[in-house]
Homo-oligomer: A and B are copies of this chain.
């Protein structure tokens, strides 16, 4: 049996091996991924982002537990991809969090993968995309992509998801952390976690205000759809999703079932409004472009050679050659 076949058959060891190959960007990983590609496109990708101290890891664990032991219906397979692109200082934090996974350990229907930052952030987004494809092909129904909501890079990773959940918590300073990152614009669901703490009302109010400000962005987003004569209020209502605000207490599980409902509801909305396939297309476009850009650059550098490149760089540094001239010289070679 090939590695791809073993992964499709649900073998955990094969899955782990492929994930390692993909994370290390090995050529054989790429080939197996291509073999598995026809089996992808079924999983619901859910991005969960929030600052340190919001309790988002615990919340993801609770959600996984909920989907594994639903009050009704059949259990779903859950994958968690925890991405930590922050500084080397906090490199171990995500792995540390995962020690508290007692309730889920031993359940083969939950697979957790922590990814640390290696090299460029663009590279991390690419690798994360590849890892979610592996889980997708392996039959995982819901894939959580968990990121620290600290900047543009996280927004980029969150774009991989069909549904983006932004987690806040009371008592983390006056500002709503998400404001800084501009991540609120891409939020499909907002969560006030630690909702049992004093200040939860204040946090919810702040989020509501922010949502009001974000509304023009939603309108702008609508303008991407062709305004044909048949479009009316009803069509618009089907397309627009106004992010609900959910309150949760990850510690004891309060509000987690309702959050899971909101996530499922959003998936249904995406499919009804054809946003699902639009996001799928965007994701694959992004992936292809990143692969092509990378390959074009590598080929170019191999063609030019290190000596020639260094020569031109010296010209630049000594101000004998302007950047535009350096560009032309190298492209002519």
Contact = CB atoms under 8 A, between A and B. Distances in A.
Contacts of A289: 297
A268 interface: no
Contact of A40 (B41, B172, B291, B319): B319
A296 to B, nearest CB: 5
Interface string A116-131: 0000010000000000
A132 to B, nearest CB: 13
A180 interface: yes
Nearest to A37: B322
Contacts of A150: 150-151, 180-181
A94 to B, nearest CB: 14
Interface stretch (A83-91, A196-204, A243-251): A83-91
Query: Top 3 nearest A-B pairs by Cβ distance?
Result: A151-B151, A87-B182, A173-B173
A150 to B, nearest CB: 5
A213 interface: yes
Max chain B Cβ within 10 angstroms of own Cβ: one of A90, A182, A184, A293: A182
Contacts of A88: 182, 185, 217
Number of copies: 2
Given A297-B293, A297-B296, A331-B295, A323 B86 contact: no
Interface residues of A, number: 66
B295 A33 contact: no
Contacts of A277: 317
Contact of A317 (B180, B284, B296): B284
B151 A324 contact: no
Given A35-B322, A89-B213, A180-B86, A295 B172 contact: no
19 contacts: A30-B324, A31-B324, A33-B322, A33-B323, A52-B180, A85-B152, A86-B180, A86-B182, A90-B179, A151-B152, A152-B152, A153-B153, A173-B175, A277-B317, A280-B317, A281-B317, A288-B316, A291-B327, A296-B296
Max chain B Cβ within 10 angstroms of own Cβ: one of A40, A277, A296: A296
Interface of A: 30-31, 33-35, 37-38, 40-41, 51-52, 85-90, 121, 148, 150-154, 172-175, 179-182, 184-185, 213-214, 217, 277, 280-281, 284-285, 287-289, 291-293, 295-297, 300, 312-313, 316-317, 319-320, 322-327, 330-331
A121 B155 CA distance: 12
A285 B310 CA distance: 10
Nearest to A30: B324
Given A33-B323, A34-B325, 14 more contacts: A33-B322, A52-B180, A86-B181, A88-B182, A150-B180, A152-B153, A284-B313, A284-B323, A288-B312, A288-B326, A292-B297, A292-B327, A295-B327, A295-B331
Contacts of A86: 180-182
B173 A89 contact: no
A151 B330 CA distance: 33
A21 B30 CA distance: 43
A147 to B, nearest CB: 12
Contacts of A152: 85, 121, 151-153
